[in-house]
A and B are shown apart, each in its own frame.
Chain A
Amino acid sequence: MRPKLELLEHSLVDRILDEAFELLETMGTKVGSPEAVDLLSSAGARLEDSTVRLPQVLVRRALESVPREFFLYTRSGERAVHYGGDNVHFDPGSACLNILDSETQQPRPAMSLDLIRMVQVTEMLPEFAAQATAMVCNDVPSEIGDWYRLLLVLWYSGKPVITGAFSIPTLQTMIELLAADTGGLEALKNKPRAVFDVCPSPPLNWSEFASQNMLELARVGIPAEIVSMPLAGATAPVTLAGAVVQHAAECLAGITIHQLASPGAPVVWGGAPAIFDMRTGNTPMGAIETAMLNMGCAQVGKSLGLPTHGYLVASDSRQIDAQAGMESGGSALLGALAGINMISGAGMLDFLACHSMEKLVIDAEAIASAQRLLAGVESRGETLALTAFAQTGLHGDFLKLKETRSLFRQEQHFPSPVIDRRGDGNADDILTRARTRVNELTDSYQRPHLPAEREERLCGIATREAGRIGLDHLPGIEVPVPSGF
């Protein structure tokens, strides 16, 4: 039996959905994209000022056409992420501006070399099913910040990617890059390698960019991941259940826009809900209530049979310390038990403002433990214990049994040396162990194969787009000499 934790009574899930539908029908949602408004209006939504009120029947119809599951693929075309059901995957947190410097352990602006290093570490860790476009590189002009991150991830990784665009024109560049990487738009649609996060603004505001983004993604057939971010007590009702209602309403509205543009296009019921801390005004990602919100939101999505996403395994501490371990480890377990399909956030500190390579490898250990938990307790023989006892009596010699040797690897997870089990008091501290691990992983990293003609195409697109803003080189990338010269 796979362990599972449902936070909400089923009757509460029903009430949450009832209120979400009612909210969309009576209060409505703001929708910024004129094209999206037209689509909604002609499908039966009522438009007043900039607010669109969505009849329940319209939303229900959209829900019917959403795929219950889909896969993300590696560059070589293997299924690596299974959105749907209770499948659980993890990826690093996304798009922050700072990195905790490995040497000084002080935050500083992230550079393209930092992102490359993080991609390398993530590529080497089996705990991460997908890469994230984890940092905004401060040595790259901000106008191209979104696609440049994706270029670097595609260049240095073969894993699926959780990404997102900052504007519609750059979204087109990102799609173009992905198509070049996968071998064409049709190949990309058949075997998507990336999912795009799209964020409505709380409460219930599908901005022009967000709603247009949904339309574009739906039409190309690249999966969209709604990242609804109610802040309980500030931009959303203070009660956890109330914030989950808002999350549901924002997701339902997004799905309706998305499915109207292209019924059957893949979309994820996702989010980064959090509480608003009434003492500091911060949005603590490590708070237990934030984890509870993520679990509750995912449960509502699951009740509709939809693929899910959440934002956990992050900490609000500003350094690698016990708080970081406690918050990240705890929420990794909770997210896994909730069966959230994609859990983003590992590696992040300081209210998602800062990434850390060292934290990423520590979080990978928490994730591995969560994955072990999900494997559950199995009965592996004809008897549970009697056969073993029959062989060794009360002598206590289980270590020598063949059964022990054949089964211990299935029963026990062996953490990396980041976790100290030596028990001799001579271990380095956790930070030193994590640094060593990061170095070992980057030393053993090998860049996955990227066919030369795809490299050239990626570089061609990047050079063209960089040229538009006067950038004459590609930071972090050695441009290949075109073939035929």
Chain B
Amino acid sequence: MEADFAAMRQSIVDGAPESALALAKQALEQGAHPLEIIDHGFVPGMSEVGEQFAKHQMFLPDMLAAAEAMKAAMSVLEPELKRQGEERPSAGIVVLGTTKGDIHEIGKTLVGTLLTANGFTVHDLGVDVPSDQFAASARELNADIVGVSALLTTTMRGQKSVVQALEQAGLRSSIKIIVGGAPVTQRWAEEIGADGYAKDAISAVALVKNLLAHKFASAEVTV
């Protein structure tokens, strides 16, 4: 029997983790390849949710539920991939955190959830993260993107410190830095020398995709 890609896609759109998990298991039992299941079954569901969100037909709780369903499916698909000695090609490695002195995490966590659901490898450093730790983790994890969140105008300055820390660590040219949070603007991002700003989690996914497309495009040129 063919793997039921349509049902998989629908389980993501419905935000139904139980059914996503069951469908993933069933497909594996039937011998489908995990990557095929991910790319043809579940990822199209995430894309549809993104489109519906953009059209105001779905909302944040729907988006999060879809991400949860994605996570449930991946919880059996990823171990199976590893067992077969393969890995899902990551769309990019992202290090996220909230600046030193700031303990607000909902925005940052949301960005992380949506990036994960869209195939990125996300390392969430949590809240109240010193600038040096952003730099150290970025180096250690070979990050493509560092995302720095701040909710307060006072802790927003910490975003500039992260840019400086990455410069001092000699990582600035290989890593794109994105910033976000209620008081943050595109202008502030430019002022502190960050590479991008997004007003919400959905735009952050688009921003990261865009930045990485450029990054890899320019890398190919230099090679």
Contact = CB atoms under 8 A, between A and B. Distances in A.
A399 B60 contact: yes
Interface string A76-102: 000000000000000000000000000
Interface stretch (B37-45, B62-70, B156-164, B212-220): B62-70
Interface residues of A, number: 15
B21 to A, nearest CB: 16
Given A404-B61, A408-B59, A396 B106 contact: yes
Contacts of A417: 56
B56 A399 contact: no
A412 to B, nearest CB: 9
Contacts of A424: 199
A422 B199 contact: yes
Interface in A402-437: 402, 404-405, 408-409, 414, 417, 422-425
Contacts of B61: 399-400, 404-405, 408
Contacts of B62: 405
Contacts of A404: 61
Given A405-B15, A408-B59, A414-B56, A400 B199 contact: no
A104 B199 CA distance: 34
Contact of B65 (A397, A405, A423): A405
B197 to A, nearest CB: 9
Interface string B61-85: 1101100100000000000000000
Contacts of A399: 60-61, 64, 106, 110
B107 to A, nearest CB: 10
Contacts of B68: 400
A399 B68 CA distance: 12
A423 B199 contact: yes
Given A405-B15, A425-B185, A400 B59 contact: no
Nearest to A424: B199
Nearest to A417: B56
A429 to B, nearest CB: 19
Contacts of A396: 106
A425 B187 CA distance: 11
A404 B15 CA distance: 13
Contacts of B199: 422-424
Interface in B1-52: 15
A48 to B, nearest CB: 65
Of residues B56, B106, B110, B185, which shows the largest number of chain A Cβ atoms within 10 Å of its Cβ? B106
A174 B171 CA distance: 79
A408 B199 CA distance: 22
Contacts of A405: 15, 61-62, 64-65
Of residues B56, B61, B64, which shows the largest number of chain A Cβ atoms within 10 Å of its Cβ? B61
A423 to B, nearest CB: 6
Contacts of A400: 61, 64, 68
Contacts of A402: 65
Nearest to A404: B61
Contacts of B60: 399
A396 B106 CA distance: 8
Interface in B174-220: 185, 199
Nearest to A423: B199
A9 B168 CA distance: 74
Interface in A380-409: 396-397, 399-400, 402, 404-405, 408-409
A155 B149 CA distance: 56
Contacts of A414: 56, 59
B152 to A, nearest CB: 16
Interface in B87-107: 106
A424 B65 CA distance: 26
A402 B16 CA distance: 10
B168 to A, nearest CB: 31
B182 to A, nearest CB: 8
A400 B105 CA distance: 14
A423 B60 CA distance: 16
Nearest to A396: B106
Contacts of B64: 399-400, 405
Interface in A298-314: none
Interface in A226-278: none
6 contacts: A399-B64, A400-B64, A400-B68, A404-B61, A405-B64, A408-B59
Interface of A: 396-397, 399-400, 402, 404-405, 408-409, 414, 417, 422-425
Given A399-B61, A408-B61, 10 more contacts: A396-B106, A405-B61, A405-B62, A405-B65, A408-B59, A414-B56, A417-B56, A422-B199, A423-B199, A424-B199
A-B pairs, 7 with minimum CB distance:
A405-B61, A424-B199, A404-B61, A405-B65, A400-B64, A408-B61, A399-B64
